[in-house]
Amino acid sequence: MPALVLLGAQWGDEGKGKATDLLGGSVDYVVRYQGGNNAGHTVVVGDQKYALHLLPSGILSPGCTPVIGNGVVVDPSVLFSELNGLNDRGVDTSKLLISGNAHIITPYNVTVDKVTERFLGKRKIGTTGRGIGPTYADKINRVGIRIQDLYDESILTQKVEAALDGKNQLLTKVFNRRAIEVGQVVEELLGYADRLKPYVADTVLVLNQALEQDKVVLFEGGQGTLLDIDHGTYPFVTSSNPTAGGACTGAGVGPTKISRVIGILKAYTTRVGSGPFPTELFDEDGDALRRIGGERGVTTGRDRRCGWFDAVIARYATRVNGLTDFFLTKLDVLTGWEQIPVCVAYEIDGRRVEELPYSQTDFHHAKPVYEYLPGWSEDITKAKSFSDLPKNAQDYVRALEEMSGAPISAIGVGPGRDETIEINSFL
């Protein structure tokens, strides 16, 4: 019953694609359990680079069944264009399964996302503008449209009517936009039904049966722990639960079935969009991390905010996810610094604080307390085992492990598939 959850331990973009890909060959099912096409995985296979936003990365491994769980929000036009792109490159996508309970990102949800952000002005969240928040809001308000609704026109029409009732008031009276027509939306959505049909399945049953048959199931989180709607830096978060519990609700698998929870941890920190970020750098070091690390969003093309490693956040991720392991990524990006600052605690209004403050006000005032670890200058991209790393790089990894509260079981030393040091096997 090996069920693994793989999730971002910081603010997303930790390099999950590489980690999933490393496991890809031995995994039977790769499941996305939350988020939508706001995610962005880059997977490098041979000399081919694939950017995936919605599809689970398992779609690239021939033996693996990719699954979009009930907790995901699906924009069908994006889904089809991703599938077309892969088919054009010869990737077989016919095994994909999509939960009939997954909610659809409708065109009006995308419109509401964009106008709301514009309306918020300088208080904006910095969303990806993909309609994620409004679609989850509709789900919770019980006016969402699910994939299964596409197969009953009368129900679909009633639901679109219910969803647009309030929204059209808002669009016309508050946002000064034109009302959206029910008929037009229904027609567009029905246009997706036939092509989606072969993929729609009772994914909860499929996954639980797979686990009973001892298949390996990998739950792949989008975004990251600090972007979680409950446990992240609210309100500067996404609208779903990337944390480990989200895998259970977003895929319909009980917590007793999860055997391992792996946190992907970048050797430094990045963040996209607004919100607090204590170790953020505004100097040459920040620019260097961005340049060397290629820190530009796969989904939005926005430059990522960059900063030093924050052990307070890593400890928090260990706690809220019950992490069993870390996969440390992008260690090679730190090559060349004489000293590497690591944030070990915060100073908040003159007090030293070791753990993530629960108060938003305190977190906004948190200043990093740094320890300085000696750097290394040797190229580490060819390292195959831990002992191949220079002593200072080994010490850096061990220090991070000690501060973060879970063993580091793999280390990424370059972007390629084989540029990974495996310390403990994940399976």
Q: How far is the CB of 270 from ligand IMP (least distance, A)?
A: 8
Q: Is 304 annotated as a binding residue?
A: yes
Alpha-carbon gap, residue 292 to 257, rounded angstroms:
39
The residue among 109 and 318 lying less far from ligand IMP, judged by its C-beta, is 109
Is residue 32 within 8 A of residue 222, CB to CB? The reply is: yes
Q: Is 47 annotated as a binding residue?
A: no
Chain residues 238-257 in contact with ligand IMP, contact rule CB under 6 A: 238-239
User: Near ligand IMP by CB under 6 A, which window of 119-127, 141-149, 276-284, 416-424?
Assistant: 119-127
The active-site residue, picked from 21, 41, 53, 325, is 41
Alpha-carbon gap, residue 328 to 127, rounded angstroms:
26
The residue among 141 and 377 lying less far from ligand IMP, judged by its C-beta, is 141
Phi/psi at 217 (nearest 5 deg)?
-115, 125
Q: Does 410 bind ligand IMP (CB under 6 A)?
A: no
Q: Does 20 bind ligand IMP (CB under 6 A)?
A: no
User: Near ligand IMP by CB under 6 A, which window of 5-13, 198-206, 260-268, 378-386?
Assistant: 5-13
The active-site residue, picked from 13, 113, 138, 310, is 13
The residue among 330 and 393 lying less far from ligand IMP, judged by its C-beta, is 330
CB within 8 Å of 172: residues ≥ 6 apart = 178, 179
CA 301, 302, 305, 311 dihedral sign is negative
The residue among 126 and 357 lying less far from ligand IMP, judged by its C-beta, is 126
Q: Does 132 bind ligand IMP (CB under 6 A)?
A: yes
What count of Cα atoms within 13 Å lies in the side-chain half-sphere of residue 319?
A: 12
Token pair for 198: 């072969």
Q: Does 227 bind ligand IMP (CB under 6 A)?
A: yes
Cα-based distances in Å from 115 to 38, 123, 181, 183, 415: 17, 13, 18, 22, 37
User: Near ligand IMP by CB under 6 A, which window of 33-41, 76-84, 96-104, 357-365?
Assistant: 33-41
The residue among 102 and 125 lying less far from ligand IMP, judged by its C-beta, is 125
Among 57, 128, 321, 324, contact with ligand IMP (rule: CB under 6 A): 128
User: Near ligand IMP by CB under 6 A, which window of 9-17, 252-260, 319-327, 335-343?
Assistant: 9-17
Q: Is 310 a catalytic residue?
A: no
Q: Rg of the chain's alpha carbons, rounded to an integer?
A: 22
Among 17, 273, 278, 414, contact with ligand IMP (rule: CB under 6 A): 273
Among 2, 221, 222, 412, contact with ligand IMP (rule: CB under 6 A): 222
**Residue nearest ligand IMP (C-beta atom):** 273
* AA identity, residue 212: E
Q: Which of 277, 278, 280, 354 is nearest to 316 (CA)?
A: 354
Q: How far is the CB of 50 from ligand IMP (least distance, A)?
A: 16
Q: Does 401 bind ligand IMP (CB under 6 A)?
A: no
Token pair for 27: 């995994």
User: Near ligand IMP by CB under 6 A, which window of 36-44, 83-91, 206-214, 382-390?
Assistant: 36-44
Alpha-carbon gap, residue 406 to 398, rounded angstroms:
11
Q: Does 130 bind ligand IMP (CB under 6 A)?
A: yes
Q: Is 139 a catalytic residue?
A: yes
Alpha-carbon gap, residue 222 to 245, rounded angstroms:
13
The active-site residue, picked from 53, 139, 167, 266, is 139
Q: Is 365 a catalytic residue?
A: no
Among 127, 243, 279, 324, contact with ligand IMP (rule: CB under 6 A): 127
CB within 8 Å of 109: residues ≥ 6 apart = 131, 134, 135, 138
Size of the site for ligand IMP (CB under 6 A): 21
Q: What residues are designated binding site for GTP?
A: 12-18, 40-42, 304, 330-332, 412-414
Interface ranges with ligand IMP (CB under 6 A): 11-13, 38-40, 125-128, 130, 132-133, 222-223, 227, 236, 238-239, 272-273
Residues forming the active site: 13, 41, 139
Binding residues: 12-18, 38-42, 128, 142, 223, 238, 298-304, 330-332, 412-414
**Residues contributing to the annotated binding site for Mg(2+):** 13, 40
